[in-house]
Amino acid sequence: MGGAWPPLPACADEGGVSFWLPGLFGSFAAAPGNPGWSGTLISYHTSVSAGGGKVFQDGTNIVAGLSGQGDLALYGITYTFAQPVVGGQFAVSVFNVAGRNAADVSATLTGPLGNQISGTRGQSLTSFGDLIPQTTLKWNSGVNNFMIYGTGDIPVGDYDANRLANLGIGHGAIDGGAGYTYLNPATGYEFSATGGLTYNFENMATQYQNGIDSHIDWGLSKFLTKQFDVGIVGYYFQQLTGDSGSGDRLGPFRSRVVGLGPQANLLFPVGDKVSGAASLKLYKEFDAQNRPEGWNAWLTISLSEAPPHPAAAPVTVKY
Residue among 104, 90, 1, 8 at smallest CA distance from 58: 104
Share of the chain above pLDDT 90, in %: 64
| Highest mean pLDDT of the ranges 2-11, 132-141, 160-169 | 132-141
- Residue 115 inside a domain? The answer is yes
According to DSSP, the residues that pair with 22 across neighbouring strands are: none
- Residue 1 inside a domain? The answer is no
- Residue 7 inside a domain? The answer is no
- Residue 313 inside a domain? The answer is no
Q: What is the CATH number of the domain that holds 60?
A: 2.40.160.40
- Structure-model confidence comparison of residues 242 and 8, the more confident one: 242
Count of the separate structural domains present in the chain: 1
**Sheet arrangement for strand 107-110:** 55-58, 61-64, 107-110
| Length of the chain counted residue by residue | 319
- Residue 315 inside a domain? The answer is no
- Residue 218 inside a domain? The answer is yes
Q: Measured between alpha carbons, how far is 95 from 157 in angstroms, rounded to an integer?
A: 12
- Residue 8 inside a domain? The answer is no
Decide if 181 contacts 145 (C-beta within 8 A).
Answer: yes
- Residue 48 inside a domain? The answer is yes
* Predicted pLDDT at 16: 59
pLDDT digits (tens, 9 = 90+) for 152-172: 999 999 999 888 888 999 999
Decide if 292 contacts 308 (C-beta within 8 A).
Answer: no
Q: Containing domain of residue 22, as a range?
A: 14-305
pLDDT digits (tens, 9 = 90+) for 258-310: 999 999 999 999 988 999 999 999 999 999 888 888 999 999 999 999 887 55
